[in-house]
Structure 1
Amino acid sequence: MELPVMTVYHLVQSLQYGWIDELYSMNIPPGADTSGNQTIVLITSITEPLGGFRNDQFSNLQANIQIQIFWKKETQENIFNNEVALMNDLENQDWLVSSHEPNTVDPDTDQVTATFSVTKTIIVKKEGL
């Protein structure tokens, strides 16, 4: 089973949105163009608490994943519509949008940024049970 953060990364990658210039998981690598000339999407894991305890054994994991969008400064895209489309596509794949922060402007790059989180309960299969 792959990490939940990678599941969301691959899902977003498969959607092939034309407005995403760079897609990263876990961190933005050194040397990436962070000048504001590209729209960057960063997908990170927030928390993964265990649950469904029975007889001191967990049976599920609550994956909480954060999606950050750094819109390029000169974008011609409809930011709101694209963010809603991405959230809808994630929900169509059984990821619940659990929070959405207001868009802000990054003081260092003057980029509009968006942050929202998705969550999914993953049933954990244990060997030999």
Structure 2
Amino acid sequence: MKLPINQVADLLIDAKLPWIDEQNIFTSNVTPDEDTTGKTTFIRIQDAVSQLTDHANNLASTISAGVEVQIFFSTDGKINIFDAKVTVLNLFQENGWKVQRPLQPDSTDPDTKQRTVTFYIMKDFHIR
């Protein structure tokens, strides 16, 4: 089974969203050569809190895997951030991911001045 962060990255890549280049979807720290001017939209996907559930005979049969998805939108103003949020929200839900905090307020990165949106999503994976 692929890591949950890789599953989310594949989902975003396969969606072929017109406002993100698949080379700007990261499942680790953003690379040192990443554009720090704010002119590039990129997505960072990280593990979040996961937990074992559905215990029987002291053995868990499910992992509820949590993933954090941060979208840093280009400062060029060409992307409708609300529409992009709704598209990503629907993409996650249609593919079995539960959106934990979909209405987190947007924020602004203090260094690049990019608007950022953060999703916390969770999906159950049966392990037994």
TM-score (norm. length: structure 1): 0.91
| Equivalent residue letter for 1:82 | A
Deviation, structure 1 residue 25: 0.8
User: Which structure 2 residue ranges, 5 or more long, are not aligned?
Assistant: none
Alignment of structure 1 residues 34-45 onto 2, 5 Å: 34-45=36-47
Contact kept in structure 2, 1:26 and 1:45, CA below 8 Å = no
Contact kept in structure 2, 1:71 and 1:111, CA below 8 Å = yes
- 1:20 counterpart = 2:20: yes
Q: 1:123 aligns with which of 102, 107, 126?
A: 126
Per-residue CA distance 1:28-74 (angstroms, 9 max, x = gap): 12222222010011111102211111111110000111110111111
- 1:92 counterpart = 2:90: no
Superposed CA RMSD in Å reads 1.1
Alignment of structure 1 residues 67-86 onto 2, 5 Å: 67-86=69-88
Q: 2:59 aligns with which of 57, 60, 63?
A: 57
Partners in 1 of 2:15 and 2:36 — Cα distance?
23
| Equivalent residue letter for 1:54 | A
Partners in 2 of 1:52 and 1:26 — Cα distance?
30
Q: 1:110 aligns with which of 91, 110, 113?
A: 113
User: Which structure 1 residue ranges, 5 or more long, are not aligned?
Assistant: none
